[in-house]
Structure 1
Amino acid sequence: MAVPSSDGIIVRLWEQYNVGWRLYKNLEQIPRHMTPYYSREQMKIMGNYANAEERLLTRRRVWQVFLLVKLTMFIVPTVIGLTESLDSIVEFSEDALWTISALYVFARWAFYYLKADQVDEIVDALEECHHEWNVGPNSEETQSLRRWYYHIETGLSVCWHIGLMFLMALLILAPVWTSQQLPFHAVYPFNLHNPEEHPISYILIYISQSCCVIYFLPWLLLTEFLSCHCFFQLAANLKILCIQLRNLNQFTGHGDNEQIVAMELKKLIEFHQKIMHIVDRVNDVFYNPLLTFLLANFILLLLCTFAALAARHQPLVAGRFIMTMPIVFGALIYWSKCGDLVTQTSQDVAAAAFEAYDCPLWVTRSSIIQRDLMFLIQRAQKPLTIGARAPLPAFNLVTCMAVSSATPKGRHQHQQQQQQQQHKHKQRQTKTESETETQTHSEVRFS
């Protein structure tokens, strides 16, 4: 396989955003690929997506070994550095925060090194769904929905990249406005991290840590996009299924409409079955990443909140935690909202099938169509959920609020929300009692 030129690499990196800009200028086009496809391509360009095809390349295998050594050399000194921070709560919390983050990156690297082929199966299956229902009677509505989802996913990706750039600058330039010597506190043998004793090795370590930040954080963001936007695509395909079901009555004008409707309905049932299979594969393949993501975010939120409160008299130190908290909490909300979209749209399938069942023009004349629609309604009664496998709860906003309420700040906000809800409930109860009492008095006066 030939090595792509630098221009080709740049074009492939920016292709997702170039396509989004062309779609914005021409509303009649549809994206050729979905956003998870582009995220996978970007990870391949970075040389950190070890599927079967990439592992056949010698340079990719060498690069993977280099990344493993590089990540290990970053994690081990930071773990050793924790022993020097035991005397200070703020320093220990900060070191623990970045150590856990580095371990999370390592877990992500291990997952995509071992499971990239299974992730390919999910992305390829969603890519097939992406090209369905784009031609036909309802193609305009379907294409509009696909463009809308593409713009939303691409726009959110740009926002996340901007926030990540600020975080990277904050981490790399931390020694400029703080007393620490390196971006991350680490202990190396022979005191190599000391700038006074070993200035050259200190500069090399500084550059090494900065390169790790510049490479691994954008790659980590791409892994999150690849998984989250798969959930977005599942929701988009479920909405397209609802559109097709609600427009089944357009075939009533045909002469042999019952056979046409039966064939279309069979295609829709198979499409729904395909989506259900992809959801099962997502829950199976992404189970460990979801579990590690939930645990890591829970610990990071606790550390950020605690360390920010402990360092409230040191604004420069507390600023790093305050900057990290929205990113960690935003990632949790992002994943949870994606899971919510899948659950909500899967419940809409039953309502759309019932609307088709309620059409009296052809349903009353075909028992086969009635049977198929009732089967689809019954099967769609159970909502599709992401990550609903013990001990991991369903990944939705309820789980997000449960995790956030475990932090001191989140618990305080959760208590305030509960108090507000109780206050509103008491007001409604008082209003209902007063209305009942007024109605009773009026009935007495009338009698």
Structure 2
Amino acid sequence: MNQNWHGTLIRHLLLLVTGCLLVGLISGYYGWSLAIGLAFYLGWTLKQLLRLHEWLRQHKPDEAPPDGYGLWGEVFDSIYHLQRRDQRVRGRLQAVIDRVQESTAALKDAVIMLDSDGNLEWWNLAAETLLGLKTPQDSGQPVTNLVRHPRFKEYFEQGNYGEPLDIPSPVNDHLRIQLYITRYGNNEHLMLVRDVTRIHQLEQMRKDFIANVSHELRTPLTVICGYLETLLDNVDDVNPRWKRPLSQMQQQGERMQTLLNDLLLLAKLEATDYPSDNQPVAIDSLLRSIKSDAQALSGQRNQTITLDVEADCALKGSEAELRSAFSNLVFNAVKYTPDGGSVRIRWWADSAGAHLSVQDSGVGIDNKHLPRLTERFYRVDSSRNASTGGTGLGLAIVKHVLLRHRARLEISSVLGHGSTFTCHFAPGQVTKPQPKTLID
């Protein structure tokens, strides 16, 4: 209550007491006059309180408070001004909300607001086109009930939204959409959906072109390498001077065959999301076989290759694909580790899943190259690939194999102190090894 209200209240009480005393002076009953006057004032005050209570309980939006006199008139007037100020603030906020909704409605990208449980709260018109949402019957529905693609359900429930997700549109299988999810507020979700059909078509054209060219080159290259091998076997009968150029031609032909095989393998890996032969793979025996091949590759370089298997568990997936990925990591470590160096292969499991690390004591890789190592044909140093015979596709193959097995690749390296490549498999990919059967 401000000073004006204090003054008004004091004036009213003084007038009331003065009037009661005058009536008492005339009638000679001071006490009764004062009591009756105060009772009348109290009754009037209670009546105003009841009017205020009734208005607060039953008033409609934007309905003005009742009229009053004196102190209560100022109270009702103050409430009226507060009400009008609140209406102006709400009007400005509603105008901002309307502008935001109008601007998002004009977007070609879909914008969807979800609560903390993943239920639909609001979406723009593009969401109805790309996802098939319907107003108002889909409001409050879980988004996983309306977008039923298994990869989306897995992506949403895992809660790891660092990378976008590409899936076919629920409305049209010929449309390709890309989803971004961001958390905000009280663990609520904002989902953005883009139509990336054109980009997907261009990417598919690139993949098809590489796959077709690789396939078409494979047959003539096999013929050429076959004739080169025949000529080398009989080079003394032709001309001994041709031995060196024929050997170099055969070496480069084999390198081209390796490149084509890697390109065809990448095309095969990108064709589907899951391995076709999804069976438990015994990792311990697989790693022992890869270690034996790595020792043969190391030859006389006096390298120390160790294998630590700390978990007796298997992985669900394709043994051929896992062998390709793991051997790429191990063979790269052998190639880029100097003579007398060490390579450590470690397999273990914990509550976060299963893990494979390949650690070497090589020259290491500068941090600026690490984010791009899994790109196709990316060269840290072109001379290194020329000397080791690498195609630049090994880590790209590793990345795609891990993606198909719901895993990720972590790379850490320090110049002059070697590198460590770690594969992290989700708990859902880990299973018990199949029991070995005895054959009589």
The bucket for the TM-score relative to the shorter chain is under 0.3
Instruction: Decide which structure has greater helix share.
Output: 1
Structure holding more strand per residue: 2
Q: Which has the higher contact order (CA 8 A, sep 6+)?
A: 1
Q: TM-score, normalised by structure 2?
A: 0.20
Which structure: larger Rg? 2
